[in-house]
């Protein structure tokens, strides 16, 4: 198969300072020009020596610094650029997701971080004096602790399609647990927590069409489904189809029975959520698939962060022999691709933001045409 490297236009590559691991465009009308980038930086600290009889053990204290960077998209005569409008310092950020609903008429995003916290923040944008540059204010709304000595690894909101009151979100953590929380009266309240995986629970994701169903993926190579109305001691299914850790899951927000998953095994799978015995399609992308994002305007394309092999856009509609065609492969300024997202503004025509971990860069690029190359 030939993969297209043409028909991709790069507008900007920015240095994020710290290692960059997540990017998220705002989904709300009037705020589509807001982009968030989450970062963290591991500080090994000082060595400590413990002497027990004849054994000498050396350990290092580890601190994960980080921030959330807020950018505004500038559109000028067919070109695009990002301008940083705010930076919020905090412990290392592992994942970010916008609430699908406004909270008090304002956009809210959730994040999980390296000290085991899930936190919600409110965004306010105000024009500068005399119509000058936009000022962005970010205010913490609520937070909850996920456990002692754990990293928060992922989160997802339940209400992207079927609205819920109060809003509900799920999180996952490095001790293999999944958690459910709800936002009510300005407080983030724990609802349930259970051991979902034997090792790190890399990813959690709702079935957007049925908020009673939650999916999780872990370093135990399992993809699991849970009915939140039942006892969480047993999943409704546990798939071994992936051969390595499952680190990305997303329910399609446009087509109600589609689910995609990615793994360190380098395979992107698309499933019919009504039967999870075998996937509908399986395409190898030659890199661990850390994040997957369905196109927000239709269910035909999937964007992936493919770690050591850049970013891919895959055609989920024209499946040939059980494989999905690769439409585009983006490799510019990539050193461990961790974050990727589509801009929700339809007028930008397939504008994408991605971030690369080791060379702490944020890329802004766009697909300029459809490609028909297939594997």
Q: With beta carbons less than 8 A apart as the criterion, state whether 326 and 373 touch.
A: yes
Confidence class for position 46, pLDDT limits 50, 70, 90: very low
pLDDT of residue 52 exceeding 50, the answer is no
Count of residues making up the chain: 375
Instruction: Respond yes or no on whether the N-terminal peptide bond of residue 315 is cis (omega within 30° of 0).
Output: no
Three-class HEC string of 176-212: CEEEEEEEECCEEEEEEEEECCCCCCCEEEEECCEEE
Mean pLDDT computed over 183-207: 96
Contacts of 367 (CB under 8 A, 6+ apart): 7, 8, 313, 327, 328, 349, 350, 352
- 2-44 pLDDT, tens digit per residue, is 444 448 899 999 999 999 999 999 999 999 999 999 999 877 6
Q: With beta carbons less than 8 A apart as the criterion, state whether 342 and 40 touch.
A: no
Contacts of 126 (CB under 8 A, 6+ apart): 134, 135, 137
* pTM metric for this prediction: 0.91
């Amino acid at each position: 198969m030939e993969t297209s490297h043409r028909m991709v236009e790069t507008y900007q590559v920015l240095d994020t300072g710290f290692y960059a691991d997540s990017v998220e465009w705002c989904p709300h009308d009037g705020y589509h020009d807001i982009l968030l980038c989450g970062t963290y930086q591991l500080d090994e600290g000082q060595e400590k020596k413990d002497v027990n009889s004849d054994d000498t053990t050396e350990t290092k204290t580890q601190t994960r610094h980080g921030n959330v960077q807020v950018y505004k998209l500038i559109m000028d005569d067919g070109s695009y650029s990002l301008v940083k409008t705010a930076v919020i310092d905090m412990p290392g950020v592992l994942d970010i997701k916008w609430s699908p609903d406004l909270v008090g008429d304002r956009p809210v995003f959730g994040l999980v971080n390296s000290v085991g916290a899930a936190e919600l923040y409110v965004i306010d944008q105000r024009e500068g004096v005399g119509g000058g540059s936009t000022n962005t204010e970010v205010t913490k709304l609520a937070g909850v602790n996920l456990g002692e000595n754990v990293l928060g690894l992922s989160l997802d909101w339940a209400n992207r399609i079927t609205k819920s009151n109060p809003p509900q979100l799920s999180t996952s953590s490095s001790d293999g647990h999944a958690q459910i929380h709800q936002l009510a009266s300005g407080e983030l309240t724990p609802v349930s927590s259970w051991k979902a995986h034997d090792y790190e629970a890399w990813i959690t994701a709702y079935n957007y069409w049925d908020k009673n169903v939650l999916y999780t993926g872990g370093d135990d190579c399992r993809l699991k489904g849970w009915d939140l109305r039942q006892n969480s001691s047993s999943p409704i299914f546990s798939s071994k189809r992936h051969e390595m850790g499952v680190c990305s899951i997303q329910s399609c927000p446009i087509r109600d029975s589609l689910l995609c998953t990615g793994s360190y095994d380098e395979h992107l799978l698309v499933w019919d959520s009504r039967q999870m015995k075998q996937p509908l399609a399986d395409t190898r992308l030659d890199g661990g698939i850390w994040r997957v994002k369905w196109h927000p305007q239709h269910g035909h394309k999937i964007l992936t962060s493919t770690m050591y092999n850049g970013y891919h856009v895959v055609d989920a509609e024209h499946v040939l022999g059980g494989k999905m065609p690769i439409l585009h492969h983006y490799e510019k300024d990539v050193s461990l691709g961790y974050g990727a997202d589509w801009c929700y503004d339809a007028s930008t025509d397939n504008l994408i933001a991605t971030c690369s971990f080791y060379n702490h860069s944020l890329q802004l690029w766009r697909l300029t045409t459809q490609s028909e190359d297939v594997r």
